[in-house]
Amino acid sequence: MSDSKSKTLMADSHRSGFVGLLGPPNAGKSTLLNRLLGQKLAIVSPKPQTTRSRILGVLTRANSQLLLLDSPGRHVGKGSLNRSLNETVDGVIRDCDVALVLLDPVRALEDLQRELCLQLERAGKPYLLAASKCDVFPRPIESPEGLATADRPTRVHRFSALTGEGVNELIEAVVNYVPVSPPLYPEDELTDRPVRWICAEMIREAVFESLQREIPYSMAVEVLEFDESRTDRVRIRANLLVERNSQKRIVVGRGGQGVKRIGIRARAGLQSFLGIRVDLQLFVKEDAKWAKSVRRLHELGYD
Ligand SMILES: Nc1nc2c(ncn2[C@@H]2O[C@H](COP(=O)(O)OP(=O)(O)OP(=O)(O)O)[C@@H](O)[C@H]2O)c(=O)[nH]1
Ligand SMILES: [Mg+2]
């Protein structure tokens, strides 16, 4: 076959499009994104509502390119930040060609997920249901009972983003719903997010790992300086923003031990992501308005 003919054939069968990763908080959306990309892009934590933004991950395969959109978990909540998170979910529904709705395997299909499915149907978007964490919850959810909608999928896929079980089958099923199209992004591109933004996220992950209870939800990370001018190290200075002075005291900790612990974890994550030594300086700063002001949320990189 001539070169141009094989290229035309490939163009006829190549698929590329946006795949929304949707579902409740803590279902494993970000873990699935990282597993599919074979590299850590989105931060993960055992606490719900970790992801605060839409994150594009480009998965380039032999005959398809999937543009994976990680999203915050859909939840009920008040305030500018929660509104912004749910609007981000709406945006992913609007922009995706197909959605993967993750079900929390413990709770199966809840009202919020049902609402998500209905929203997808109203938007005319095909979707697949997938129960995550099958390594620890082996009992299959047999059918999407209770999803009394016209176009409901007939089965629930099962997978584990931790072991990889069922992940390939899931992707093969998704690809069928992605439009025939040449690749929409350059092959070597991983994401549309700047490195500096991902670094802020890595620091936020260390915050989630190091602090108990509610405090991580009152915090944001603001990178002040990202200096790559030296070949042997990257220098990062960042603010850990808290809403109240009482939180500042807890985060700083006795004799600065709290912020030091966050710094040690964050540096390890950053070094593994950047593949280079990182000099990291963290400051804890009170900023009562960061989660209340739309302008401030925007400055901090929330959609
Ligand atoms: N055992 C097991 N744990 C998993 C699996 N996938 C994710 N987890 C864990 O579940 C927790 C939540 O995972 P995330 O990927 O942060 O979940 P998420 O849906 O992105 O959560 P939000 O960003 O808060 O909406 C983390 O502790 C993960 O390690 C899995 O396949 N098996
Ligand atoms: Mg997440």
Q: Per the confidence metrics, is the pTM higher than 0.95?
A: no
pLDDT at position 113 is 79
Burial pattern 249-260, b for ≥16 Cβ within 10 A else e, equals: eebbbeeeebbe
> Is residue 284 within 8 Å of residue 240, measured between CB atoms?
yes
> Is residue 226 within 8 Å of residue 199, measured between CB atoms?
yes
Please tell me the residue having the least CA distance from ligand 1 atom 21.
Answer: 26
The ranges assigned to domains in the chain are 3-175, 195-299
Which amino acid would we find at residue 145? Answer: E
Q: Which atom of ligand 1 is nearest to the CA of 33?
A: 15
Residue of 29, 31, 102 best suited for mutating to test ligand 1, as the one with most atoms within 8 Å of CB:
31
Superfamily for 195-299? K homology (KH) domain (3.30.300.20)
Q: Express each pLDDT in 169-204 by its tens digit.
A: 999 999 999 999 999 999 999 999 999 999 999 999
Closest C-alpha among 261, 190, 276, 181 to residue 226: 276
Ligand 2 centre distance from Cα of residue 217 (Å): 14
> Is residue 94 within 8 Å of residue 45, measured between CB atoms?
no
Q: Express each pLDDT in 149-168 by its tens digit.
A: 445 676 788 899 999 999 99
Angle of CA points 139, 142, 147, to nearest 5°? 130
Residue of 21, 26, 55, 302 best suited for mutating to test ligand 1, as the one with most atoms within 8 Å of CB:
26
Tally Cβ neighbours within 10 Å of residue 277. 13
Ligand 2 centre distance from Cα of residue 13 (Å): 32
Residues 84-95: what's their mean pLDDT? 94
CATH code at 3-175? 3.40.50.300
Ligand 1 binding pocket (C-beta < 6 A) is 25-31, 44-46, 48-51, 72-73, 132-133, 135-136, 160-162
Closest C-alpha among 157, 161, 180 to residue 170: 157
